[in-house]
């Protein structure tokens, strides 16, 4: 929690009218449903009105875990593919009847550094899964807003990592 608060404070200091940073605060609910064929479908809704913002099939390609025993946090680098989907009648019924695999309540603060096209998300997540107690986690995600550029020229990935490191140092 202390690390989350420290990152939030540092990133808040970068936002302002004369800076190249933007800020957005959202509260959403992600519900995970299983579709025929074992595909996991994520439905994201606004917390206050239940308005559906997006429906995605998310496929994890690979994870790279970095364990840092001398530090209070570890790092995971994940590569995922997210494909937009339509919410079909069977999944609408599942959602309406509360039949889902898991539900995540997300309180997210997003910071975008426009020059490097990097988004930093700090998210407090309360997760409810079938048969498990509610658990609160604090997550920090860093996402490239221009993945096509990274795929076209892999050296751009190194440039973005350097930009990220530079941003954290200042």
What is the DSSP track for the chain? -HHHHHHHHHHHTT-STTSSEEEEEEEEEEEEEEETTTEEEEEEEETTT--EEEEEEEEEEEEEEE--TTSS--EEEEEEEEEE----HHHHHHHHTT--SEEEEEEEEEEEETTTTEEEEEEEEEEEETTS--EEEEEEEEEES-HHHHHH-THHHHHHHHHHHHHHH-
- Please give the pLDDT value at position 167: 65
Contact 37, 170 (CB under 8 A): no
Q: Which pair of structure tokens corresponds to residue 62? A: 């690979």
Cα angle, residue 123 at apex, residues 83 and 103 outer, rounded to 5° = 60
User: In angstroms, rounded to a whole number, what is the distance separating the alpha carbons of residues 11 and 73?
Assistant: 18
pLDDT value at 161 more than 80: no
pLDDT value at 169 more than 70: no
- The share of the chain scoring above pLDDT 90, in percent, equals 22
Q: What is the pTM of this model?
A: 0.79
* Residue at token pair 């995970």: 32
What's the CATH fold of domain 2-169?
Answer: mRNA Triphosphatase Cet1; Chain A (3.20.100)
Per the document, the length of the chain is 170
- Please give the pLDDT value at position 48: 93
Among 45-54, 148-157, 159-168, name the most confident range.
45-54
Query: pLDDT digit string (tens) for 64-117?
Result: 888 888 877 777 888 888 889 988 888 888 888 888 888 899 999 999 988 778
* Residue at token pair 């989907």: 85
Q: Map out the domains of the chain as residue ranges.
A: 2-169
pLDDT value at 130 more than 70: no
The burial class, CB within 10 Å (0-12 / 13-18 / 19+), for 113 is buried
């Amino acid at each position: 929690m202390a690390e989350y608060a420290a990152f939030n404070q540092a990133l808040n200091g970068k936002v302002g009218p004369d800076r190249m940073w933007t800020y957005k605060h959202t509260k959403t609910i992600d519900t995970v449903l299983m579709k025929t064929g074992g595909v996991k479908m994520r439905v994201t809704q606004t917390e206050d009105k239940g308005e559906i913002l997006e429906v995605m099939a998310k496929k994890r390609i690979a994870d790279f875990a970095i364990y840092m025993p001398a530090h209070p946090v570890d790092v995971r680098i994940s590569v995922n593919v997210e494909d937009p989907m339509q919410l079909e009648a069977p999944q609408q019924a599942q959602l309406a009847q509360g039949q889902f695999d898991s539900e995540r309540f997300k309180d997210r603060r997003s910071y975008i550094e426009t020059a490097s096209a990097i988004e930093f998300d700090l998210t407090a997540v309360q997760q409810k899964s079938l048969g498990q107690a509610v658990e609160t986690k604090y997550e920090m995600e860093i996402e490239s807003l221009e993945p096509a550029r990274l795929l076209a020229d892999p050296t751009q990935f190194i440039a973005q990592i350097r930009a990220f490191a530079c941003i954290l140092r200042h």
